[in-house]
Amino acid sequence: MPAHFLGTPATAPGPLGPDMLKSFNLIRCDPLEFLFANWRKFGDVVQFPLPRPPTYLVNSPTGVRQVLVNNAKNYSKATIQYRALSLVTGSGLLTANTDLWRERRPIIQPAFHQEAMDNLIAVSRQAADRMAAELDSNGAGVVTDVDQFMLNAALEVVGEFLFGSDLSADAHLITEATLQALEVVIKRARVPLSPPRKIPTPGNRVLKRSLDTLDSAVASIVESRTVAQPLGVTAPGVNLVDLLLAASANEQIDLEGIRDEVVTFIIAGHETVASALSWSVALLATHPQVQERVAAEVRAARGETLDSKLVQLPFTQAVFSETLRLYPPAWLITRKALGPDCIDGHDIPTGALVITSPALLHRHPEIWSDPDSFNPERFLVAFPRESFIPFGAGLRQCIGKDFAYVEGVIMLASLCERLKFEYPARGILPASDPLVTIRPVGGVKLLTSRRV
Ligand code: HEM
C-alpha cells in the first residue's frame, strides 16, 4: 500500500495511478464492472488514488451498515452523484440535504400510508391489465420491447396514484425525457470537467429539451389538482400533489419546491420500478419453470389475492426480491464523510467520498450462496436481511419501498396470469447498462402469447 496519493494518506488497499489511467474507458463505459473488478482484487474496503476528494469503495456488510445506518449522521448526500441528479430534480426529497429533508419528509409521508397502499393495488392491476391487453393484441409471433411498456405502465401508476393525473397521453414523451435527462447528467458526472449549462453543446441541448418537457408535465399536473375540488389533507384520496399544495398554502414549501418534488417522484417512482419489472420478466423468460410456478401461484390465488394481501403471493414476491438482488435498479449509493471515521480498521478522512453499491453487496459470496444464480427460493427462507439493500438503509431509505413491492408484485402477477413470455431465440439476458438505474441494453425484446 503506498503511503500517500498526492498528499492524501493511503489508508486502504487499492489501484495505483497508472491502473486508473488504464481503466479510464471502463470507468466511462461500465463503472459497475470497474467497481466489481477492484473489489475482487483489493477486498471490502478499497481506496482509489484520488486526492480530492479521497475516494473509497466500501462493500462489507458491517461497513455499509456503518455508513448508511449506525453512523449515518456522519455522512451527507453532498456527492457528485447527487449534485448531477439535482440538475434534473432540483432539491427534491431524494437529493435534499438533511435540513431540507427534515422539513419535507413529514409533508410527503402521508401519501404513503397503509390505506393508500390498498388503492395502489387496484391502480397497479388496471395498468397491468391494460398492458396485457395491448401486448395480447399484437398477436402471437410478434417480438415486443417489454421494457418500453413497463416504463409507460409504471408512469401511469405514479401519475394516477401520486398526482391524481392521467399521464397516459404523454407517457412516451415523459419517459423519454426522463431517460435522456438522466443519461446526460450521468455522463456529466463521469468526466472531471463539463461545459457550463449555458453553452449549447449537444448534451446541454438534450438536457434543456428534457427539462422543458418535464416542467410542462409538472405544470399541468399541478394545475389540474389546483382546479380540482380541494381536498382536506386527511380526506380519503388525498395524494402527493394535494399534500404539497396544502403545505404551500401554509408557506411550508414554495412553487419551486413543489416542482422539484413532483419531478423527483416522476423520476424516482417510475424508472426504478419499470427497470425491476423488465428484469423480472427477462429472468422469467430465461427460466420457464420459474415462470410456470408464478403463473400457477397466481391461478391458485385468483379472485382473492390480487385485490388484497401480497403475502398470499409469496413466490411471486420472492421472484421480485431475487430480481432486485441481482439487478438492483439503484445500484450506487454515495455519501460524503462529514467527519473522520474508521471502517473495518481503515481510517476514512473528513470530506471523503464513500461509494457503496447494492449491486456489489448483493453478490458478496460470503453472504449469498451461489450469488450469481437466479434462485427466488432463497427469499422463501431466512435470508441475510441486513445485506439486502435495494432500497438503501437507515433514515434515508426509500420512501417508495412498499409502493414498489405492491406495484411490482401485482404487475408481475397480473401479467403472468394472462401472458407467457419467451425469448424469440435461445434466451440470453440483455447486458446491463448502469446509468442512474441498471437498464437492460436495447430493451427486453420478447415474444408474448396468451395463456390458455
Ligand atoms: C424498485 C424500485 C425502487 C428502488 C430500487 C429504489 C431505490 C432507492 C434507494 C436505494 C434509495 C436511497 C438512496 C440513498 O440512500 O442515497 C431511494 C430513495 C428514495 N426513493 Fe426509491 N426506489 C424505488 C422505488 C421508488 C418509488 C416507487 C418511489 C416513489 C413513489 C421512490 C422514491 C424515492 C425517494 C423520494 C427517495 C428519497 C427518500 C428520502 O431520502 O427520504 N422510490 N430509493
119-173 pLDDT, tens digit each? 898 899 999 999 999 998 887 778 899 999 999 999 999 998 888 888 877 888 8
List the chain domain ranges. Answer: 91-330+393-450
Residue 431 reports pLDDT greater than 80? no
The grid coordinates listed for 451 are: 395463456
User: Which is more confidently placed, 246 or 202?
Assistant: 246
The predicted pLDDT at position 191 comes to 64
Distance of CA 317 from the midpoint of ligand 1 (Å): 18
CA 335, CA 79: separation in Å to the nearest integer? 6
The predicted pLDDT at position 363 comes to 97
Residue 437 reports pLDDT greater than 90? no
The predicted pLDDT at position 149 comes to 93
The average pLDDT across 82-109 equals: 94
Write down how long the chain is. 452
99: Cβ contacts below 8 Å, ≥ 6 apart: none
CA 45, CA 29: separation in Å to the nearest integer? 23
Question: Across the chain, what does the average pLDDT equal?
Answer: 89
The model's pTM is 0.93
366-421 pLDDT, tens digit each? 999 999 999 999 999 999 999 999 999 999 999 999 999 999 999 999 999 999 99
The predicted pLDDT at position 304 comes to 60
DSSP label at residue 201: -
Strands 55-58 and 353-356, how do they pair? parallel
CA 21, CA 27: separation in Å to the nearest integer? 10
Whose grid coordinates read 436481511?
385
The residue whose CB lies within 8 Å of the most ligand 1 atoms, and thus the one to mutate among 104, 362, 398, is: 398
Ligand 1 atom closest to Cα of 390? 5
Pocket of ligand 1 (CB under 6 A): 93-94, 101, 105, 264-265, 268-269, 272-273, 276, 328-330, 333, 390-392, 396, 398-400, 403-404
370-382 pLDDT, tens digit each? 999 999 999 999 9
Distance of CA 265 from the midpoint of ligand 1 (Å): 9
Protein residue with its CA nearest to atom 13 in ligand 1: 392
The predicted pLDDT at position 379 comes to 98
DSSP assignment of 370-423, as one string?
STTS--GGGGGS---GGG--TT--STTS-TTHHHHHHHHHHHHHHHHHHEEEE-
- Across-strand partners of 434? 438
Residue 430 reports pLDDT greater than 80? no
In degrees rounded to 5, what are phi and psi of residue 188?
Answer: -60, -40
CATH architecture of 91-330+393-450: Orthogonal Bundle (1.10)
CA 303, CA 414: separation in Å to the nearest integer? 11
Cβ(374)–Cβ(287) below 8 Å: yes
16-39 pLDDT, tens digit each? 988 888 888 888 788 899 999 999
188-238 pLDDT, tens digit each? 776 656 667 777 788 889 889 999 999 998 888 888 877 665 544 445 557
High-pLDDT (> 90) share of the chain, %: 62
The grid coordinates listed for 79 are: 456527492
